[in-house]
Structure 1
Amino acid sequence: MTLLNQVFDVYIDLNITLAMTALVWLSAKLLMARFGNKLDFNIQLGLLNGLFALILLSPLAVIGYQHLQAAAMVPAVPSVNLSDYAVSQYLRGGIAIPAEDFQSLLGLRARISENILTLAPGIGIGVAVMLFAGFAWFAGKLVLGFMRLNRLLDACHTWRRQGRVHLLLSDHALVPFSARGLFNHYVVVPTELLAEPEDLKLVLKHEFQHLRQGDVTWEIGLEMLRPLFFWNPFFYVWKSEVERLRELACDQKVAEHAQVDLKSYCMCLLRAAQAGLKKRQTLIAQGRAVGVAAVALLEVQDRLLRRSPAQKLRRRVEALLETNRIRPHWGLVGVAVLPMIALIFLTSLSLQKPADWSHDRLMLSTIINLERLEVRNDTMAQLESVNTFGQRPLR
């Protein structure tokens, strides 16, 4: 197997693992909601970020486990490979299709991958072109977003600076937002907010909390991965969950401060939304782009297949008024999340290609050969019958 085949297999495995983990996360979320339990937003955000990091590291974990297994450093356990399990079920009679058709199904993924990587005519070149075009499109949008952000930061006025944190004033920013470079962090505030000192204090608390939580780094990481996962709907589900919890967790932390009045904070969000929408309409009328890659106080632009900014703002205000959020000890959370960690590892492990020919696979190969031999014998018998029937009788 070439390196390109191995990289492509890892890529497909990551997409499948992400889909499985997202489904389990959504199921757990619905289950908790049904029983009336509401987990703390900060804990949910930490779990999501941690699980996503584990998904990205799962191929390395599988490779490490396989090396330990080959060196007999871990106990031998039954195979969890899905392909081996399917073969075992077939031999036990659980799958009732011809053996050759079953073997063809087992090799379907390998054939499709080979067609894509070799640009085979038809589906191979079609999927390859789609993947390359999608990657190029979203990578271009990412670069454009960073260029817009860089231009916006360059046009800002430096207000204050403390260490690596730069507080900037902008005449063009729609709403307050946080951003970062390789070393420095930035908090950008619209200049008109200076006329509202109370709102300014709340906004700065919110944006500094984003920096403390590392939200900007996670957002940049997810945006950089978008070109690779652009075709996977579960990536967008996961990213939407992270964005939702990021803002709710930040609001929750700010609201917990003793000097923050909930009513004032909610009204601050409302005024920021109104000002941002008004400025956005002005920029659109002037034909200017408004999107940048950063973490904003709130969203003031509609996005396809997502909740509107008004719905998000309403959800944030409602969440601020909730007081019955569960905040268990991190040790208990760790124990509860162990099944999801095991799911990520087992899913990655089960998707690997079989290492060698097992006894079950030899049995399957024997059945296929016997079926072919039987078909050949039947064909020969039919030919002999036709020849015998077509002979002229002896006189």
Structure 2
Amino acid sequence: MSEQVHLALALERAGWHPAAWREASARTHELTSPRYWRELLRTADDAGVALATIEDALALPDRFESAGALRRDRVRGRLDAVLIASFAAALTRRIGLVPTVTTAHPEPFHVATAIQTLDFASRGRAGVRLVAGAPAAERANFGRRATGVDAFPASGRVEDSPEILAAFREAGEFAEVLSRLWDSWQDDAIIRDAATGRFLDADRVHNIEFEGEFFSITGASIVPRSPQGRPLITVLAHQTVPYRLAAEHADLVFVTPHDDAGVASIRSELDAAARDLRDGQRLRVFADLLVLVEDTAPAARAAAERLDGWEGAPLASDARIVVGTPRDVADAVLQLAAAGVDGVRLRPARQPADVVAVAEQVVPLLRAAGALRTDDGSSSLRDRLDLARPESRYAREKVAL
């Protein structure tokens, strides 16, 4: 039997190809409808997909796209990812719900309480994908920052941009504050003793007392400790600096290897960082693939060429692109499984077409190959990914005293 992996989906409006909305199968008039998102997530849920991330952004232009030359031939506008996940929580059964949140503009307190609430609404299936940086169009929408991340350095190295380095330091503090707020209530803080009139044991609710470079926070969360204790923190990482952010603060990291050597190199760097920064809990590593799926290879190539023609350029991505049959996609997943990742996140080029193809054709092939981890009915996303439920750090500190 092959190595087994979890399967995830990354959902992005009409799909990851910028011209996907022009496909006949696209449901362009429904991109902002509850039914569209409900059906996408239910399709993935029914197929046994372990989790779905939901993309988000805080400006109309794409990241690093000029606001002054806004292309009119791409999807513009979106629904809030946290609210999509919250809506879907009661309409899905097993799938993890992981909305994307930028760390540059929202307050970590607001994000912490929103994700805790999602964890309650989904009965323990919540996570968050953190994105660092503040491009110009986002800064203009908030009016609180004069500078931010406006471009990637010409060298391609994160280390060569002071602005990007600052953005990742801020993201690290953001993640730390989330974790502390989620820990601020111990599991047994609520007593509910009507006879004595004690609803709460105030000694089991803790002010987090965080003082950092970007945030200074004293209080506790307004939401009691949620089903998972701490919902999952996830990040997408390509280089050493974000790898270190993942190793220090995340439960799961999405990476973008293009071959087996890339997987080995990334795992080696992540494992080295994790040895320095983690206390025994192994970081889960999911590899990304952007997929376009048709019944035959010629049909898949023709679909890709049609989309590229509408866009005016070939599709480019940080992730490896697989254009082909369900078997081609399944083989790519099997290759990544053999290379040693914990999971594979598929980015559908077209929605809903490629989501349906994954659910109805790719997943059965992977199951037949014994490549997918079985859903044992565990009660939470942490359990499903074999991640321990952490104890509140403040309970540990109290015991240590």
TM range (shorter): under 0.3
Structure with greater Cα Rg: 1
- TM-score computed with the length of structure 2 as normaliser: 0.22
- TM-score computed with the length of structure 1 as normaliser: 0.22
Structure with the bigger percentage of helix:
1
Structure with the bigger percentage of strand:
2
Larger RCO (CA under 8 A, 6+ residues apart): 1
